[in-house]
A = this chain, B = another copy of it.
Amino acid sequence: DQAIKVAVLAGDGIGPEVMTEAIRVLERVAELRNLSFEFDHQLVGGAAIDAAGCPLPDATVAACEAAGAILFGSVGGPKWEHLPPNDQPERGALLPLRKKFGLFANLRPSICLPALTHASPVRPDLIKDGFDVLCVRELTGGLYFGQPKFRKEEEGDILAVDTMVYRKSEIERIAHVGFQAAMTRDKRLTSVDKANVLENSILWRETVNEIAKQYPEVTVNHLYVDNAAMQLIRDAPNFDVLLTENLFGDILSDEMAMIAGSLGMLASASLGQTSGNGLYFGMFEPSGGSAPDLAGQGVANPIAQILSAALMLRFSFGLETEAKMIENAVAAAIADGFRTGDIMTDDASLRQVGTKEMGEAILSRI
């Protein structure tokens, strides 16, 4: 069998530490399932700025092109915050990667396990049995990349312009991803827009309703973005798939992650075109940031990175069995009481562990 090629971009902060655990987990799966991975480690973000002068060096892009998927850590930190936004690690690495590889579909499972509801800032009675919401965010359109985008002087004033553009075909494409995901879940989809104000949203809502006809089993409803921002807090368990355009998804998927409570548990997938075989080129990364305050202490939660690796196996390599092996091992480690600091409580039956021990707890349960 040929080796499975993965570009590994660990990045900054806790990125390298949690990545180490994800790679160990993947190696273990390879061993058990007779697979072979080829990991190409490359610089990205602040680490790349320091070593190569820019957040996304050509060598890194080339490695991504040669791979079947990108396993991404996290980027950014106070060291690079003085740079102009365009040159900062987050913006300077993430946006070009998304554009270059056409990563139009951002999937963020926001899962609050019943055992971890205490970590949520929401009142326990509102999320008694936890919840499992999947945010499906369009990632290459809207205000992020729409043209024109400029600043100019006019009559002694300065004027800034950004343009929100969506094509119907882009909306159809992401809607299919949302509906297909809903079909594998609870078959409920909430589409978010601002159709009382935006032309983009009127087209969005129309198109989602059209595509919905191809998925008659899925129950669809529409929420204005302001209302969605409210309802997610009050009633997260009532949501299944949340479908949004780029900027609304940026805001709501972060809000949803906060509601889930344990950012260190949340993985994400950014998918590009399928190659016809149902597999996607994709980039897989934790939803949380580089957490510079935790970096280097060996205490960060590696689960988000490990679950991102599982998503990679599923979406980019069609290794569903192997993805499930990892996901089950994570669930087992949690069930057996292993907790990093971010998800710890004062329950004496739990065992607080560091990054490495959590990695081992998961590894040994595969």
Which residues on A are within 8 Å of B, measured CB to CB?
A: 85, 88, 90-91, 95, 120-124, 126, 143-144, 146, 149-151, 154, 157-169, 194-200, 202-204, 225-227, 229-230, 233-234, 247, 250-252, 254-255, 257-259
Known: A226-B251, A229-B254, A233-B258. A157 touches B168 (CB 8 A): yes
The reply to whether B164 and A158 contact each other, CB–CB distance below 8 Å, is no
How far is A166 from B204 in the complex, measured between Cα atoms in Å? 25
Known: A160-B202, A259-B233. A88 touches B165 (CB 8 A): no
Counted per complex, copies of this chain come to: 2
The reply to whether A161 and B164 contact each other, CB–CB distance below 8 Å, is yes
Contact of A123 among B95, B122, B229 (CB under 8 A): B122
Chain B, residue nearest A204 (CB)? B160
Residues of B within 8 A of A194 (CB): 247, 250
The reply to whether A203 and B247 contact each other, CB–CB distance below 8 Å, is no
The reply to whether B165 and A164 contact each other, CB–CB distance below 8 Å, is no
Known: A151-B203, A199-B162. A233 touches B250 (CB 8 A): no
User: Apart from A85-B196, A160-B165, A229-B254, what are 17 other A-B pairs with CB-CB below 8 Å?
Assistant: A88-B196, A122-B122, A151-B199, A151-B202, A157-B167, A157-B169, A160-B198, A160-B200, A161-B163, A162-B164, A162-B199, A164-B164, A226-B254, A229-B252, A230-B254, A230-B255, A230-B257
Most chain-B CB neighbours within 10 Å: which of A120, A159, A252? A159
The reply to whether A195 and B85 contact each other, CB–CB distance below 8 Å, is yes
Contact of A166 among B160, B229, B247 (CB under 8 A): B160
Residues of B within 8 A of A123 (CB): 120-124
Overall SS of chain A's interface: helix
Residues of B within 8 A of A229 (CB): 229, 251-252, 254-255, 258
Chain B min CB distance to A248 (Å): 8
Chain B min CB distance to A221 (Å): 13
The reply to whether B227 and A149 contact each other, CB–CB distance below 8 Å, is no
How far is A161 from B199 in the complex, measured between Cα atoms in Å? 6
Residues of B within 8 A of A204 (CB): 160
List 20 contacting pairs A-B, 8 Å CB cutoff, sorted by A.
A85-B195, A120-B123, A121-B123, A150-B199, A154-B167, A157-B167, A158-B168, A159-B166, A159-B168, A160-B198, A160-B203, A160-B204, A161-B164, A194-B247, A229-B251, A229-B252, A229-B255, A230-B255, A234-B258, A251-B251
How far is A194 from B254 in the complex, measured between Cα atoms in Å? 14
The reply to whether A199 and B255 contact each other, CB–CB distance below 8 Å, is no
Chain B, residue nearest A169 (CB)? B157
Chain B min CB distance to A93 (Å): 11
Most chain-B CB neighbours within 10 Å: which of A149, A162, A233, A254? A162
Chain B, residue nearest A249 (CB)? B226
The reply to whether B254 and A161 contact each other, CB–CB distance below 8 Å, is no
The reply to whether B122 and A161 contact each other, CB–CB distance below 8 Å, is no
The reply to whether A90 and B196 contact each other, CB–CB distance below 8 Å, is yes
Chain B min CB distance to A94 (Å): 9
Residues of B within 8 A of A160 (CB): 165-166, 198-200, 202-204
* 8 A-B pairs with the lowest CB-CB distances in the bound complex, closest first: A230-B258, A160-B203, A158-B168, A226-B254, A229-B255, A91-B196, A160-B199, A162-B164
The reply to whether B233 and A254 contact each other, CB–CB distance below 8 Å, is no
